[in-house]
Amino acid sequence: MTRCIALLVYPGFQLLDAAGPLSAFEAANGVIPGSYQLEALSLTGGPVASSSGIQLLTRAAAASDAIDTLLVAGGDGVDAASADPAALAFIGAACTAARRAASVCSGAWLLAAAGLLDGRRATTHWRRSPAFARRFPQVSLDADRIYIRDGKFWTSAGITAGIDLSLALIADDLGDSVARQVARQLVVYYRRPGGQSQFSEIAGMQVAGGTFTDLLDYVRHNLQARLDVDELAARACMSPRHFARRFKAEMGVTPARAVERLRVEAAAAALESGSASVQAVARSCGFGDAERMRRAFLRIHGVPPSARRRGRVEEDQTPASAPRSSPITEL
């Protein structure tokens, strides 16, 4: 069975939003030949310039197209595209006829503008999330997810998350084994769960030249320490009360929550490496015991630490001759 994956682009689309998913489906064809037919569509056809200036050759979209999955790219041009009645009419008709529809990054704006996400859960690039929530209050936006499936509609976060989304679509069609082989071919980690946070907590808190850059470096390298407000305030040469106010204003979270997030991220990496037990990881990352670490994981990621360990076990059970994929983080 060959499934038609139709990628819809428009002037100013993000090139990696298109190239990442297309490469994933191409790799799936390498595992099971003939699984997918890939089409690049636009309203006008012909070459369409991405936001980088690189052009993609497309075919003119038609209402009669037999599409299994419509995939909508994101990019800077999405604002103009989502105000185009012809684009919204085509998306509405194509999504009604297709088995499923998906968007990468800000492509969710086009699905939402066509009214297709009303009453549904969705996600988009974290930078666009506040504006998306204001523009489409009828959509249940979950701004901290890599991808979300709600019925036949799939939405994903920014740029490289389109590869995570495509791996999930491939797994839905062809099974986990094929999707895992595709991930190895692309040299990406299989798999970041859909519920994982979009951003690295460390990178998100690291503000170049910020007041607390050096302090966060200290925290990262001393997770076993107590790291309470009094200790951190002393290192920042502030009173505890003034420090807590300044930190929250600059970083967007309290000092305690920042420390917890950094500990969870370090623990997740340690668990995925498989080098230590859950109890040992909890101690080394400053949680004290596994139960406290479990509660922190549930607060931040919505899954327990064991989910990270299971993901590593799945990777360890792959054939020894296959190259191991490396973890990547969505920034």
Structure tokens at 213: 């850059």
CB 77, CB 11: distance < 8 Å: yes
Quickly count helices (H) and strands (E) in the chain: 15, 10
Phi, psi of 307 (to 5 degrees): -65, -35
- List C-alpha distances in Å: 207 to 28, 151, 215, 269: 39, 38, 11, 22
Quickly count: other Cβ atoms within 10 Å of residue 57's Cβ. Answer: 10
Whether the CA torsion 27, 28, 30, 33 is positive or negative: it is: negative
Residue 105 a catalytic site member: yes
Sequence-ordered list of residues with C-beta below 8 angstroms from that of 290, at least 6 positions apart, any chain: 278, 279, 282, 305
> For 53-60, which contacts have Cβ atoms below 8 Å and span 24 or more sequence positions?
54/15, 56/9, 56/13, 56/15, 56/18, 58/9
Is residue 113 a contact partner of residue 84, using CB atoms and an 8 Å limit?
A: no
DSSP 8-class letter at 325: P
Marked catalytic residue, from 4, 105, 237, 285: 105
- At how many degrees (to 10) do helices 161-174 and 176-186 cross? 150
Residues belonging to the active site: 105
